[in-house]
Amino acid sequence: MADSSTSRFFTDEYARLAGRAAIGEDESSYRSREFLREKVVKCIWFDQRFDTAGLRADDGRKLTVFSTGWWNLEGGPDFRDAIVRLGKEGKVRGDVEIHLRTSDWKLHKHHESPDYDSVVLHCVLWNDTGEATVTTVSGRAVAQLTLESYLDEGIEGLCEAFDPSEYPPEGGARTGACHPFLQSEEGLSRFSEFLDWAGDERILSKARRLMTIGQDRSSAELLYVAVMEALGFKRNRQNFVRLAGKLPLAVGEELREPDAVQAALFGLSGLLPAGDLPDEADEEARSYADRLGRLWAAIRIDAEPLDAAEWFFKGTRPQNFPTRRIAAAARLFPFSTFLERAVELVRSKKGGQIMKLLCQVSDPFWDWRCTFAGKKLARRLGLIGVGRARAIIVDAIVPSLLAHARRTRDPELEAQLHDFYNSFPKLPESSVTRLVEARVLGSARGRVVNSARRQQGLYQLFKDFCQQDRSGCATCAFMRLMSETKRQ
């Protein structure tokens, strides 16, 4: 068995083994299995990744979603206290149950359970029964929404886009059935190698997605979109992707001046103040907003701005407000130059200096502000902190450079990038990494997960095995995968 820590390239060994061990078929089936997860549909519902404007229930009634409800991690319906309107009826508050297929409602015996009598909407990916509604134990008909024809991206692309760390993990952190197997040195060694491969797969999947969505785009454009997505963090991620689509890279780089780029981004985001700032705003803030307003008025971009109400501020730390992230994005232009610099640093084995490129991003106004009209901060606050910079490198820059290396057929760059990734330090822990480490490794967690590569492997493991719908460890294929690894 090859030593994964010394591999010079991003390997697809994980996908090959996962395909065979998980479903007993060749590796080409691995991806189709990954896509058939109920949690993917929950993520689609949670993020509203579908055409909400033309939405209709399966019975033909117009459907409006005012609130998705809160993600339920206990028993019962998947989302509690959603608010919807069907046809000409008034708003209705109730629960939403998520399934892959319409037949799962009866398969899971929800029609016989009082726990599901509060459901007002059954949301599925595919309708395999042809029925427009389902029925509760009380005999009440529940409206049904089939998402397949409303998705804003292909299901494969959506699966690649969803990051499990952004969503509530289901199931407790109890020790899994695989835990005893990993208590020996042999087991830990085998798992460490597998985790390296899984960490490669996570980056490969991100790079593949970039190459798929950007077949006619330059490598700098792919980097731009990836970094914008990473700047969005949690709930604003898709808004940043949409914003990048409204300001094409070529247009943004033609503006040249950082203030002009800021004006364009803020104008297209819908967050640029349309008139006078509130009374509490100081003179510096008024002058800055006025200057951006005049620049925006002079810029002619044929794109409809986003609605300011679509941005999430509530529940976000002020230093992470989308206003500050947009200001940071403007200061990273031109991305073509950023790409060249990042490639140069990786080639010269100075990839760690990419951190400096990000952490040194500065703006004379936003270093001291969180909103346009907010009070000036007592001390300077960097636009991109160390934690976010590390996340941008792993989630956006490494996949983008890998896509660039493969598109330009540059194996030496890929090898140098892999060296950088293999030695990159871990990111801060998340609920997912804590859960998987506790479930799989127990007390051995500190000995194994010692790099960003292996930490990313934990996310891949969680995505492909630990979050299987309602089956848990009882039917997990992870042990088969370990056995397959042993035979190599």
What one-character-per-residue DSSP string does 322-362 give?
HHHHHHHHHHT--HHHHHHHHHHHHHTT-TTHHHHHHHT--
Banded model confidence at residue 161, pLDDT cuts 50, 70, 90? low
Banded model confidence at residue 139, pLDDT cuts 50, 70, 90? very high
The answer to whether 270 and 305 have CB atoms below 8 angstroms apart is: yes
pLDDT of residue 31: 41
pLDDT of residue 156: 63
Banded model confidence at residue 170, pLDDT cuts 50, 70, 90? low
**Residue that the structure tokens 């691995």 belong to:** 30
Pairing assessment for the beta strands 91-101 and 70-71 based on DSSP bridges: unpaired
Q: Round to the nearest angstrom and report the end-to-end CA distance of the chain.
A: 6
Q: Among the listed ranges 316-330, 431-445, 466-480, which one has the minimum average pLDDT value?
A: 466-480
Q: Quote the CA–CA distance of 485 and 198 in Å, as a whole number.
A: 13
Of 112, 135, 199, give the one whose Cα is nearest residue 402. Answer: 199
* DSSP assignment letter at 128: S
Q: At what angle do helices 13-23 and 185-213 cross, to 10 degrees?
A: 110
Q: Quote the CA–CA distance of 306 and 322 in Å, as a whole number.
A: 13
User: Residue range 15-44: average pLDDT?
Assistant: 58
Q: What share of the chain is helix, strand, coil (3-state, %, to 5)?
A: 55, 10, 35
State which amino acid sits at residue 79: F
**Residue that the structure tokens 């719908």 belong to:** 469
* DSSP assignment letter at 28: G
The answer to whether 269 and 322 have CB atoms below 8 angstroms apart is: yes
pLDDT of residue 392: 97
Beta strand spans in 51-169 (E): 63-67, 70-71, 79-86, 91-101, 119-126, 133-135, 141-146
pLDDT of residue 475: 56
The answer to whether 258 and 291 have CB atoms below 8 angstroms apart is: no
Please say if the pLDDT value at position 36 is more than 90. Answer: no
pLDDT in tens, 241-272: 999 999 999 999 999 888 999 999 999 999 99
Q: Quote the CA–CA distance of 403 and 244 in Å, as a whole number.
A: 19
User: Residue range 459-479: average pLDDT?
Assistant: 64
Q: Quote the CA–CA distance of 136 and 110 in Å, as a whole number.
A: 7
pLDDT of residue 35: 38
Q: Which helix (H) or strand (E) holds 484?
A: helix 478-486
Q: Quote the CA–CA distance of 424 and 128 in Å, as a whole number.
A: 46
User: Residue range 189-193: average pLDDT?
Assistant: 86
pLDDT of residue 44: 87
pLDDT in tens, 71-80: 887 788 999 8
User: Residue range 227-250: average pLDDT?
Assistant: 92
Beta bridge partners of 103: none
pTM for the model stands at 0.72
pLDDT in tens, 425-441: 999 887 777 777 776 77
Banded model confidence at residue 141, pLDDT cuts 50, 70, 90? very high
